[in-house]
Amino acid sequence: MSPLLLEGLVAPTGVVVFAVLVWIAFGAPWAIAALVAGGGAIITFHLWHLDRLTRWAEAALDDAVPEGRGSWRAAFSALHRRVRERTAHQQDLTQTIERFRSVAEAIPDGMVVLDAANRIRWANARALTHLGLDLAHDAGRPLVNLVRQPGFIRYLETGDFSDAVVIDSQRAPGMTLSIQVVPFGTDEKLLISRDITRLESVARMRRDFIANVSHELKTPLTVVSGFLETLQELELEPRQRDRYLQLMSGEARNMERLVDDLLTLSGLESEQNPPVEATFALAPLLVEVSAEARALSGGQHDIRLEPGDAAALTGSRDELASALRNLVTNAIRYTPGGGTVTLAWRREGDGGGSFSVTDTGIGIAPEHLPRLTERFYRVDRSRSRATGGTGLGLAIVKHVLLRHQAVLGVTSVPGEGSTFSVRLPARRVAYQ
């Protein structure tokens, strides 16, 4: 027999023994009275504990378990132990949920928990930013009432979540999102939103690059192909034949320059191809670039050199020379005959230095300046093609400067000329 049951029988047994003794001493009426009084006291005792137990059960969940007496002490102690275990379990669950939310907040993707009717149950901060939600007001509302893009609504309604859907963010203009829904549990869903703006931008740049390369190669190939057919099918005079061959040779050189520039740009962009750095004197490089400028000009321009303070540079001489040549070549190409092109080196106040190319050419309108270093971007396509440029020169300059922590500056006035300056940091310049 359990100790609790034995403890519960102590009081009734005592009452019965006391009633028997009263019966022996005073007779049956007094024994019955003692039995009734003792039984009433026992019942009152138990009813009082039942009342305390009922009041506790109906009170708030965090109310303390009342103290019990007698046989009720063990029962109330067992309840108190269960409450402690439940509280500890709830704390563990709370900590687990908090850890999950902390992890969900740290994830760079947005996360939204949806119920069977696609109503919002919870969302992390990134999802609120991506989808323009306010959890305090939007919890419990259908997501399709808040994200009203037809493509997303069709995706959610079809129930085919094998692939993601791409939409534009309502909250952040220009942001592109990839939305993937993952069913879990019985009828719940986890919506994951990912910012793929940069990936889309890279993909768009790749498409534009392929289209531009195709376009740049198509024109010279068409010319070469047409002249080849003419040479094969017609009997031409030697003078005309030589002219066609010269034109074909010129177009072949254009394609060769384009391929060379593409290879140069690819090498500059590769992380596997760091610049080979060394310290070299600046003056010989300036003299070399100015001599090439005079040769390219053919005496049509006034080429001036302002070498400034003698200095030594640390970096890739070949890459920096390529960048400077591109700037000088552009200045000569876009400056009419009789104009002036000035090459200058100047010491900067912070210990660095700047190489500038100033021309008196056609100039550039302000709206074109931010896009000058884009691949194949041309202010005037017909004029650029006539000058023999590939459209990659300033893109090459940009990547050379990025590898040397240098900055390209451009100022221009249409009809008056332009100045392109390369500012090198102090740690790459040593003055003599």
pLDDT tens sequence across 348-398: 888 889 999 999 988 888 888 888 887 777 766 554 454 556 678 888 888
- pTM score over 0.75: no
Query: Is residue 100 situated within a structural domain?
Result: no
User: 399 is in which domain, residue-wise?
Assistant: 278-431
pLDDT tens sequence across 242-290: 887 888 887 787 777 777 777 777 777 776 777 788 999 999 999 999 9
Query: Is residue 245 situated within a structural domain?
Result: yes
Query: Is residue 258 situated within a structural domain?
Result: yes
Average pLDDT across the chain, whole number: 83
- CA dist., res. 428 & res. 432, Å (int): 13
The answer to whether residues 325 and 425 belong to one domain is: yes
The pLDDT value given to residue 388: 53
Number of domains composing the chain: 4
Residue type, 93: L
272, with CB counted inside 10 A (0-12, 13-18, 19+), is: exposed
Is pLDDT at 241 greater than 60 in this prediction? yes
Tokens encoding 186: 């019985």
142 secondary structure, DSSP code: B
Q: What is the largest CA-CA distance in the chain?
A: 158
The answer to whether residues 314 and 390 belong to one domain is: yes
- For tokens 């990912």, the residue is 194
The pLDDT value given to residue 5: 67
Tokens encoding 239: 């003078």
Query: Is residue 51 situated within a structural domain?
Result: yes
The answer to whether residues 292 and 411 belong to one domain is: yes
Question: Residues 151, 137, 174, 179: is their CA dihedral positive or negative?
Answer: negative
Query: Is residue 190 situated within a structural domain?
Result: yes
pLDDT tens sequence across 169-226: 877 777 889 999 999 888 889 999 988 888 877 777 777 777 777 766 777 788 788 8
